[in-house]
Amino acid sequence: MLEIDESYRGGAEKTCECCGQPSRRTWCMVTRDGLPYAVFFAACYNHDGAAESWIDVVFGTWGQDTDYDDHLTFGCRFGPGAGSDLPGATAVDAASVAPDAPLYGHKLTRAEALAHPNLSEFWEVIDFVTATDPLLHQHHYGHRATASQ
């Protein structure tokens, strides 16, 4: 069972470099069956009146003295797609604007992600955080996630 560990919650407000509009960021740990599983980083924007988010998910070993050697990062854009106002996810190059820091491990390209054996785990985390994270859910659906989601 996936859960968000709020003790790792962080956030920031920034200005979008491409359009000058405010953007909101959040990040947190996702646990699976009570154990650290992944960290997600999400940046929420309103571009041309459309709510979109860029979400990176880092998988690997977590804890003190972690060397990040097994870390792997997937990325997606979450927002309306062609012909639909409903949000959906599309794989993108992971953490493309983030620094090349050990935390991210290997940043997968879109092509690498789509061929990766752990792709379904990534989509599971994306489904989970877009349904349950307060900022992401509010940004895309206009209301806060309910506790039962």
pLDDT in tens, 32-70: 999 999 999 999 988 777 889 999 999 999 988 888 999
Task: Please report, for the chain, the start and end positions of each structural domain, with discontinuous segments joined by +.
Answer: 2-140
pLDDT at residue 146, rounded to an integer = 66
The residue ranges of DSSP E strands in the chain, in sequence order, are: 2-15, 22-32, 35-47, 50-59, 72-80, 87-92, 106-107
pLDDT in tens, 112-126: 999 999 999 999 999
Position 147 pLDDT exceeds 60: no
pLDDT at residue 136, rounded to an integer = 92
